[in-house]
Amino acid sequence: MTFWRFVPLAFRNIRRNRVRSSITLAAIAVGATALLLAGGFFQDTFLRMREGIIHSHLGHVQIFKKGYSQYGAAHPFDYLIQNPAALVSRIENLPNVELVTQRILFSALLSTGENTVAVTAQAIQPGREAQLTVIRNLRHADTGLAILHGENLSEESSFEILLGQGLARSIDAKVGDELVILTNTIGGSLNAFDVTVKGIFASPSKEFDDHGIRIPLETASKLLRTDAVQSLVVLLTETDLTETVRASIEQLASSENWEVEVLAWPELADFYNRVVALYQRQFAVLALIIALIVVLSIFNTMNMAISERTREIGTIMAIGYRRRDVLSIFLLEGLFLGLLGGLLGLVFGQGLGFVLSVSGIPMPPPPGGSVEWKAGIEITRQLLLQAFGMCVLASTLSSIYPAWRASRLVIADALRHT
Amino acid sequence: MPLIEARSLSKIYMLGKTEVHALNAVNLTVEKGEFMAIAGPSGSGKTTLLNILGCIEKPTEGSVLFDGKNVAQLSGNQLADFRLNHIGFIFQTFNLIPVLTAIENVEFPLLKMPLSKRERRTRAQEALESVGLGGLAHRKPDELSGGQRQRVAIARALVGRPNIVLADEPTANLDHATGLAVLELMSDLNSRLGTVFVFSTHDPKVMSMARRVISLVDGKIVEETTVP
Ligand SMILES: Nc1ncnc2c1ncn2[C@@H]1O[C@H](COP(=O)(O)OP(=O)(O)OP(=O)(O)O)[C@@H](O)[C@H]1O
Ligand SMILES: [Mg+2]
pLDDT tens string B158-187 = 999 999 999 999 999 999 999 999 999 999
Q: Which helix (H) or strand (E) holds A269?
A: none
| Torsion angle in degrees (nearest 10) through CA of B197, B198, B202, B204 | 60
Distance of CA B93 to the CA centre of its chain: 13
Residues A169-217: pLDDT tens digits?
A: 999 999 999 999 999 998 889 999 999 999 998 876 788 889 999 999 9
Separation between Cα atoms, residue A327 and residue A406, nearest integer Å: 7
Residues of B in contact with A323 (CB under 8 A): 76-77, 80
Separation between Cα atoms, residue A56 and residue B31, nearest integer Å: 94
Residue A11 has pLDDT above 80, yes or no: yes
CA–CA min distance B63, chain A (Å): 18
DSSP summary character for residue A83 = S
Residues A147-166: pLDDT tens digits?
A: 889 998 988 888 999 999 99
Residue bearing the bigger pLDDT, A366 or A373: A373
Separation between Cα atoms, residue B50 and residue B64, nearest integer Å: 12
* Residue to mutate (ligand 1; options B20, B24, B171; most atoms within 8 A of CB): B20
Residues of B in contact with A415 (CB under 8 A): 51, 56, 91, 95
For residue B51, the ligand closest to its alpha carbon is: 1
Separation between Cα atoms, residue B203 and residue A234, nearest integer Å: 96
What is the widest separation between alpha-carbon atoms in chain A? 101
Neighbour tally for A73: CB within 10 Å: 9
Average pLDDT in the A18-28 region? 93
Distance of CA A119 to the CA centre of its chain: 30
- Read off the CATH number of the domain in which B27 is found: 3.40.50.300
Residue type, A208: F
Q: Which residues line ligand 1 (CB under 6 A)?
A: A 413; B 13, 15, 20, 22, 40, 42-48
Quote the pLDDT of residue A120. 94
Chain A from 51 to 70: CB within 8 A of any B CB: none
**Helices vs. strands in chain A: H and E counts, helices first:** 15, 12
Percent over 70 (pLDDT), chain A: 96
Quote the pLDDT of residue A1. 58
Ligand 1 atom with minimal separation from the B44 CA: 21
Residue type, A330: F
Query: Any CB–CB contact under 8 A between A15 and chain B?
Result: yes
Neighbour tally for B126: CB within 10 Å: 14
Separation between Cα atoms, residue B133 and residue A178, nearest integer Å: 103
Separation between Cα atoms, residue A266 and residue A248, nearest integer Å: 17
Q: What is the pLDDT along chain B (228 residues), one digit of tens a residue?
A: 899 999 999 999 999 999 999 999 999 999 999 999 999 999 999 999 999 999 999 999 999 999 999 999 999 999 999 999 999 999 999 999 999 999 999 999 999 999 999 999 999 999 999 999 999 999 999 999 999 999 999 999 999 999 999 999 999 999 999 999 999 999 999 999 999 999 999 889 899 999 999 999 999 999 999 976
- The tally of domains found in chain B comes to 1
For residue B168, the ligand closest to its alpha carbon is: 2
Average pLDDT in the A293-307 region? 91
Quote the pLDDT of residue A375. 86
What range defines the domain where residue B45 resides?
A: 4-226
Ligand 1 atom with minimal separation from the B51 CA: 18
B219, B11 contact by CB (below 8 A) = yes
Quote the pLDDT of residue A142. 57
CA–CA min distance A11, chain B (Å): 10
Burial A9-30 (b: 16+ CB within 10 A, else e): bbebbbebeeeebeebbbbbbb
